[in-house]
Amino acid sequence: MPNMNRKTLFIIVGVVVVIVVILALVVLWIYANRTEPGPVNGNTASTNTNTPTIVVNASANTNAVQPANVNAAVDEELALIRLANIFVERFGSYSSEADFQNLIDLKKYMTRTMQSWTDDYIKVEQAKFASQGFSSVVSQVVSTYLTNLEGIKASLQVTTQRQDTSADVNASSDPYYQNIILEMVKEGTDWLVNVATWQVKGEIPSLTNTNTADTNSATANTNSAEDSFMEFINNPTPAE
């Protein structure tokens, strides 16, 4: 009988030991696989109901994740500004010896209305340039502002620095600033220039008062090829 009690005791002790070992292993497994909670940001509870403002910053981190619609809007604005810069520098730089090649090259960036205006302008001005000496103008973009973007229409104000050269004085004039207003429309997936209106030479109007109609009051001096060029451009064909 004592032997039986001793065996029973050993069995009970063995079972208890096994159970304790199993429980210890389970606890260790749970502890090893536990995920530590991350730090809680106290600002997550706040909300901002203001409309977001898109700011294009060349030094910003381009790897940051942005909403798709915001990225698309910024890309469209940048594309318009790049196109405006290319167009204006070529549109405003010409030489009487180039026979209006600058305008011909830009026709792919124009609507049919602007292309028709360009063709008419070249026909009128070719005869004038043929009877005059050498003249040229070089334009460089200083700044570009997207003043309006609604659907398939956009307006941009581009400030340029320009310099004239004429055979009459055999020298270049002093550089001067001049704004140009571009009215653009989207045809399919492409933005095209529909109207290009030079502002008064040397005057930089405020962005809040930008109005292409104001430039029609500018007085053009038809005694030179450059003034004739400006007179024609300051009275563009109406937009479609």
pLDDT at 227: 44
| Residue-level pLDDT, tens digit, the chain, 240 residues | 555 677 787 788 778 887 888 888 877 778 777 655 444 444 444 444 443 333 333 333 444 445 566 677 888 999 999 999 999 999 999 888 888 999 999 999 999 999 999 999 998 888 777 677 788 899 999 999 999 999 999 999 999 999 988 776 556 678 899 999 999 999 999 999 999 999 998 755 555 443 333 333 333 332 333 444 444 444 444 444
131-155: b (≥16 Cβ within 10 Å) or e: eeeebbbbbebeebebeebeeeebb
pLDDT at 162: 93
pLDDT at 35: 54
Burial of 43 (0-12, 13-18, 19+ CB in 10 A): exposed
How many C-beta atoms lie closer than 10 Å to residue 187's C-beta? 12
Residue ranges of domains in the chain, CATH in brackets = 69-233 (3.10.450.230)
Residue tagged 């009275």 (tokens): 235
pLDDT at 58: 35
Q: What letter represents residue 71's amino acid?
A: N
pLDDT at 233: 44
Residue 111 CA: distances (Å) to CA of 7, 12, 47: 103, 96, 45
Cα angle value 94/212/158 (rounded, 5°)? 50
